[in-house]
Amino acid sequence: MIQLPLNRDNVIQAVFLERPNRFLVRCITDERGVLDAYLPNPGRLWELLLPGASLYLYPTMDPEGAFPSQRKTRFTVMAVQREESPIFLHTHITNQVARTLIEKGEIPSLEHARVVRGEVTRGRSRFDLLLEQDGKDLYLEVKSCTLFGNGVAMFPDAVTQRGRRHLLELAEMANAGIRSAVLFIVHSPKVTWFMPDFHTDYDFSTAFLKARDRIMILPIAIQWTPDLTLGPEVKSLEVPWDYLRAEMRDRGSYLLILKIDRTMALEIGRLGTHTFSKGYYVYVGSAMRNLRTRVKRHLQRRKKLHWHIDYLTAHTGEMIPLPIRSSRRDECEIAKALLSIMQMGPSGFGSSDCPCQTHLFFSDTNPLHIRAFHDVLKGFRMTHP
Ligand SMILES: [Zn+2]
């Protein structure tokens, strides 16, 4: 088990190259060259793990706390640098932080609570901490939140069935009179609001909204200093419930990232034949009703060809949908923003009914590896009252 504070002498700096799988990153260090390190975080972390990002590595430890461990990955990713501050990625560290702050009485609503034990099983689930407050049990689940921007923090950054199940089970426990709380720890003090990420995980967000009256929702922001120690500030974040109820519906706009494996000419209905280059295309659309169904339709390979995009999706490799749920139809604004950072696709593609030149854009590198693309996404997703 990792203990805070970390021994600074053991920390080494690395530059992120790629993430071959969910729990592995490839990086480069001055002394050891290219190496693979263990990443103890199941999140997507797209906007943090961009090529060139600075990482903090630590020797991988045995479960007993000894190192170096005999594991194949001799180093573990602890944190990533963003805007001059480290953002901790090691999820066990977040549990440590929760314990420390509870013991110091620094979490609003959990003052006078005492940690009884960690990793507590109840029913089919295991929760992070069992607390005792005013002589009563309180089950606490701790979530680490690294997705933030525009003063807003959102969780989760990838669909989490486990997270949703935890909310449902804690809410059910409340029916039996058992108290519980979910502590969301945001690793940056530059935020004011906390929301479930209803763009990415609509089901988790729905469960979050429903659980409101039965589970204590405690979002806080902490700060890390450049030497990887916890700063003194603990800030309570606001959940804008009314705003959530208004915006969190299954409607809005979406991006569809399409990978084209080889350059080819395709006939796009009445738009005629166009050449599509090897690389990545981003399509912008909207559905002010049933956004989820629309996106699902795009992902189906075999269907009746109706929209321009249908002619393209029949021939693409990987497709990644990025919903942007909102009460506003933002698709043309999003197209305008993408035009400033990407190349234009065929004129008139997906824009027969609007003044835009096109709703299809091209990039020879994966847009998910480009900071400017994440800034556009953030601009439309991370909105607040
Ligand atoms: Zn348009």
Tell me how far the alpha carbon of residue 355 lies from the centroid of ligand 1, in angstroms: 6
Confidence of residue 4 (pLDDT cuts 50, 70, 90): confident
> 296 or 72: which carries more pLDDT confidence?
296
Helix (H, G, I), strand (E, B) or coil at 166: helix
Averaged pLDDT, 29-39? 94
H helices of 31-125, in order, are 91-103
Q: Is the peptide bond before 355 cis (omega within 30 degrees of 0)?
A: no
> 295 or 93: which carries more pLDDT confidence?
295
Rounded Cα–Cα distance for residues 362 and 346 (Å): 10
- Residue 319, exposed/middle/buried by CB under 10 A (0-12, 13-18, 19+)? middle
Tell me how far the alpha carbon of residue 46 lies from the centroid of ligand 1, in angstroms: 27
Tell me how far the alpha carbon of residue 286 lies from the centroid of ligand 1, in angstroms: 10
CATH among 3.10.20.30, 3.40.50.410, 2.40.50.580, 1.10.357.20 for 8-82:
2.40.50.580
pLDDT at 69 over 80: no
pTM: 0.94
The domain spans of the chain are 8-82, 91-247, 252-381
Confidence of residue 3 (pLDDT cuts 50, 70, 90): confident
- 57 touches 11 (CB < 8 A): yes
Tell me how far the alpha carbon of residue 373 lies from the centroid of ligand 1, in angstroms: 18
Q: What is the pLDDT of residues 348-365, one digit of tens each?
A: 999 999 999 999 999 999
Q: What is the pLDDT of residues 201-254, one digit of tens each?
A: 999 999 999 999 999 999 999 999 988 889 999 999 999 999 999 999 999 999
Confidence of residue 100 (pLDDT cuts 50, 70, 90): very high
CATH class of this structure's domain 91-247: alpha beta
> 56 or 63: which carries more pLDDT confidence?
56
Count the helix, strand and coil residues of the chain and give each as a percent rounded to the nearest 5.
25, 35, 40
Q: Which residue has the tokens 């009746």?
A: 304
pLDDT at 66 over 90: no
The pLDDT score that the predictor gives to residue 280 is 98
Tell me how far the alpha carbon of residue 267 lies from the centroid of ligand 1, in angstroms: 21
The pLDDT score that the predictor gives to residue 67 is 55
Tell me how far the alpha carbon of residue 331 lies from the centroid of ligand 1, in angstroms: 6
The pLDDT score that the predictor gives to residue 7 is 85
Rounded Cα–Cα distance for residues 334 and 141 (Å): 36
Tell me how far the alpha carbon of residue 254 lies from the centroid of ligand 1, in angstroms: 13
Tell me how far the alpha carbon of residue 380 lies from the centroid of ligand 1, in angstroms: 15
Provide the token pair at 67: 């190192």
Provide the token pair at 269: 């209905």
Give the distance from CA 73 to its chain's centroid. Answer: 24
Q: Which residue has the tokens 């039965």?
A: 214
H helices of the chain, in order, are 91-103, 161-175, 202-211, 241-247, 291-299, 308-313, 331-339, 371-381
Rounded Cα–Cα distance for residues 35 and 303 (Å): 44
Q: What is the pLDDT of residues 8-24, one digit of tens each?
A: 889 999 999 999 999 99
Percent of residues, the chain, with pLDDT higher than 70? 97
Tell me how far the alpha carbon of residue 34 lies from the centroid of ligand 1, in angstroms: 44
Tell me how far the alpha carbon of residue 333 lies from the centroid of ligand 1, in angstroms: 7
Q: Which are the contacts of 117, defined by CB distance < 8 A and separation ≥ 6?
A: 129, 130
Tell me how far the alpha carbon of residue 50 lies from the centroid of ligand 1, in angstroms: 29
The pLDDT score that the predictor gives to residue 71 is 65
